[in-house]
Chain A
Amino acid sequence: MKRLGGIFWGLLFLAVPVLGVATFAIAPSIDVWLPKDVSVHGREIDALFYFILALTGVVFIATELLLFWFIWKYDAAARGDEKATYIQGSHTLEVVWTIVPAATLLFLAIYQMNAWANVKMRRPDMPPTVEVVARQFEWRLRYPGRDGMLGTPDDLHLVNDLHLPVDEDILVQLKSMDVLHSFFLPNLRIKQDAVPGMKIPVWFKATETGSWDIVCAELCGWGHYKMKGRVTFVSRPEFDSWLVRKYAEQEATQPAPEPSGTLVTN
C-alpha cells in the first residue's frame, strides 16, 4: 500500500514518453504531418527535420524513461530505513554529458549550413519571374510581360492566383505595400517575411504540377487569416499560354461572353 506512490506517479510519468511517441507515430497516418513536398530543396529540409526528430526522439525517450524509472524505484516508502545515496556529483559524468551534447549540437549546426545557404544565400542569377507584393489582405502579383521588365505597360496584374512553370528556377521579388507579411508556401518549404521598404528575392524550383496554398505567416492585422493565395505549377507551354490568355483578359475592350452555368473567373 505504501509503495503505491511510486507506482502511481511512475505510471503517470511513463505516460509522457509512451503517449508522446504514440502521437508522433500515429500522426502521419491521420494526415497530421508534413505536407507533401514538391520542391527541390524541400527534400533536404525534410531530411533535416527527420534527423532532428530521430535525435531528439532518442534523447526524449531515454531521459523520460530514466525519470520514470527513478520515480518508480526510489519511492521513499519502498526504501524503508535505507538512506538516499549521498553523492555530490560525478566529474566524469559531467565531462561526458557536456562534451557529447556540445559536439552533437555543434555538428548539427554546421551540418545544416549548406541547406540554409541553398535556400537563402545562393540566389540564382536571373531576372524575377514574378513580383509578389503583399498587402492587407491579399497577394498582388505582377508578371513582367513580353519585354521582360517590371513596371511597363505590358505587365500582367493579378491577385492571389499565382501560376508558375514547373521544373524551372523561379525567382520571386517579394515586397510589401503596408505592414509585415510573410510569403509561406508550405508545400515548397518556402517562407520569407515581406518587409515594407525592402525588396527581397525568394527562389525555388517545383518538381510537380498542381495547386498548393500560399499562406500569410506574419501577423498583418485583422485579415491575416484571409490572405489565402494559391500557387499553381504547370508545364512551360501551358504557363506561356496562360499568360497570354490572362493578358488578353486584362486588356479586354469588350465584355467576355459568359458560358452558361459557369462564372467569370480570375
Chain B
Amino acid sequence: MNSTIRSLAFGLTPAVMLIVGCGPTPPAFFRPNMVEAISPTPEKDSISADQALLPAQQQQVATIMLAMFGTPDDPVCLPETGLDPAKLRLAAGPVRSDIVGRKNGLYREHCVHCHGITGDGLGPTAAFLNPYPRDYRPGVFKYKSTERSDKPTHADLVRILHKGIPGTSMPSFALLSPIEVDALVEYVTYLSIRGETELALMRQFFELDDEDEGKLPETQEFLIAEVLEPIAEKWAVAADAEIEVPEMPTGIELAESIAKGRELFFGDKANCVKCHGVTALGDGQANDYDDWSKNIVKIEARLSGLAKSDADAAERQWAAEFGQVLSGDALKPRTIPPRNLRHGIYRGGRRPLDLYYRIHAGINGAPMPAAKGTVDPEDIWHIVNYVRSLPYGLDGELGADRTMAMRPPTPAGLASTEED
C-alpha cells in the first residue's frame, strides 16, 4: 500500500507542477498611465496628494478608454480619429500568420519589446537602451517636417520606419513591405491618440463642477467632441502643415556659405555654441533633460521636497506611494546631451533638408530650440552647410588646429580624415 502511494506521489508531483505552471496567459492589456493618474496636471513641480485621481476615477478613465480604443488584441477605431481600421487590425493582435503572406500582430512582432504594448516606451528591453524608446502617449515626436508643436505627418513617420533613427536602437524597417509599414504607422498614431486622450481625460477632472460629483460626463458630446476631436484634428492637419522650405541660396560658393554658417553658429542670433560647444562636440552644456525625463525629474524633486518639508503625514504618505509608482512605471531620467556634430550621425536624417527642419523648428520634446523667427531662412541654409562640413574637418581653423585639446574621437565606423 505504501509503495502504491509513493509511486502515485512520484507521478503526480510533476503533473501538478505542470498544470499549475501551464495554462494560457491572460490576453495582452494596455497599461494605464499611472504617473499621470497620480499627478494629472502639466505642472509637475507643484503636484500634491489632493490632485491625484481616486481609484474610482482611475477606473472610470480605464472604462472609457476601453470603450473608445479597445484592447491590444481588439482595437476600437472610432471614425473621429481619422484612422483606418483595416490597417489597425494588421498591426494589432498577437503575432500570427494570415493568408496571402500578410501578417497580423505586426506591432507585437516588431515594436512591442521596446515601445511597450501601450506605446509608453516601457517594453522589457527599454531600460537597457540609450536613448530610451519613444513614449507615444504625450503625442510628441522629434523628427518631422512640421513646426515644432505640430504633429508629424504620416510621411514623416513612414520615413522614420524606413530610415530608422541612426545612432539609436531604432532600426530601419525598409525591408518590410509598404503595406506593413503603413499599418505600423497607423497603429503608432492610434497609440499616440489613445495616450493623448487618456492624458486629456485625466486632466479633465480639474475642470469638473461640483455637480459632476467627481465623475466625468460620459456623453458623446463630451468624450468625442470635447476631448477626442481636438486631438485627432491636430493629427489630421499635420499633412498640410509641412514647413515651407526655401531653395538653397544660389550664387554663393559652398566655402563661402560654410564660412557664413560658421559665423552664425558662433553668433548671438543662433548661438549654437551655447549647447553644441565651440568644437561642436556637444560639450557646451549637458544638464538638460528631454520632456519625458523632465517630467520625472520634476516629480522626483517635488516628492523629495515634500518628504523633507513639514507637510502633513497624509501628504508624505502619498509622496512615498507615488515614489513606488515611479519606480515601476517610469524609466530613470537621463540627461540629454547636445548632439556631437562631428560624428556625422544625424538622428533625424542626413539630408540638408532634414537639417533645415531641425534648425528651423527645433526638436519637439528636446531642448533644441526653433530658429524660426530669429534666423533668416537663407541663413539657416548657411548653418546647414557649416554643420555638414564638420565631420570632415573642413571648417577651417578649428578643424585644422592640431593643438586642440579635445580631438573628436573617431568611432570605428565613421569618417576619418586620415588615410584609412
Contacts and interface: CB of A to CB of B under 8 A. Distances in A.
Complex A–B touching at CB under 8 A:
yes
B392 to A, nearest CB: 6
Main secondary structure of the interface of A (DSSP, over half): loop
B298 interface: no
Contact of A151 (B145, B352, B420): B420
A153 B392 contact: yes
Contact of B172 (A160, A175, A177, A255): A160
Contacts of A150: 415, 420
Given A222-B125, A266-B163, A175 B182 contact: no
A150 B389 CA distance: 15
A251 interface: yes
Contacts of A263: 155, 158, 162, 178, 181-182
B269 interface: no
Given A222-B125, A263-B158, A228 B169 contact: no
A249 interface: yes
B158 A175 contact: no
B171 A137 contact: yes
28 contacts: A133-B412, A138-B172, A151-B417, A152-B415, A153-B392, A159-B163, A159-B164, A159-B174, A173-B420, A175-B412, A176-B412, A177-B414, A199-B420, A222-B125, A223-B171, A229-B175, A254-B245, A254-B353, A255-B242, A255-B245, A263-B181, A264-B155, A264-B158, A264-B162, A265-B162, A265-B174, A266-B162, A266-B163
Contacts of B113: 222
Closest 10 CB pairs of A and B: A133-B413, A177-B413, A266-B174, A151-B415, A159-B172, A252-B351, A253-B248, A263-B178, A253-B352, A252-B353
A136 B169 contact: yes
Contacts of A157: 350
Given A255-B353, A263-B181, 9 more contacts: A150-B415, A153-B389, A155-B415, A159-B172, A176-B412, A199-B420, A223-B169, A251-B352, A253-B352
A79 B406 CA distance: 87
A119 B131 CA distance: 39
Interface string A140-151: 100000000011
Interface in A207-266: 222-223, 226, 228-230, 249-255, 258, 262-266
A18 to B, nearest CB: 34
Given A222-B125, A253-B248, A160 B174 contact: yes
A135 interface: yes
B392 A140 contact: no
B356 interface: yes
Nearest to B167: A135
Interface string A178-222: 000000000000000000110100000000000000000000001
**Size class of the contact patch on chain A:** 35 or more
A123 to B, nearest CB: 15
Interface string B238-255: 000010010110000000
Contacts of B155: 258, 263-264
Contacts of B352: 251-253
B166 interface: yes
Given A153-B389, A223-B171, A264-B155, A251 B351 contact: yes
Contact of B245 (A137, A229, A250, A253): A253
A175 B415 CA distance: 12
Given A159-B166, A222-B125, A255-B353, A135 B413 contact: yes
Contacts of A255: 145, 242, 245, 353
Contacts of A230: 175
A255 B247 CA distance: 11
A249 B392 contact: no
B411 interface: yes
Contacts, number: 99
B388 interface: yes
Interface of B: 113, 125, 128, 145, 155, 158-159, 162-164, 166, 169, 171-172, 174-175, 178, 181-182, 242, 245, 247-248, 350-353, 356, 381, 388-389, 392, 394, 411-417, 420
B131 to A, nearest CB: 14
A91 B147 CA distance: 89
A64 interface: no
A161 interface: yes
Nearest to A161: B174
Contacts of A226: 171
Contacts of B245: 253-255
A258 B411 CA distance: 36
Contact of A196 (B163, B175, B242, B412): B412
B17 to A, nearest CB: 30
Nearest to A140: B413
A157 B164 CA distance: 13
A226 B158 CA distance: 18
A219 to B, nearest CB: 16
Contacts of B392: 151-153
A197 B166 CA distance: 20
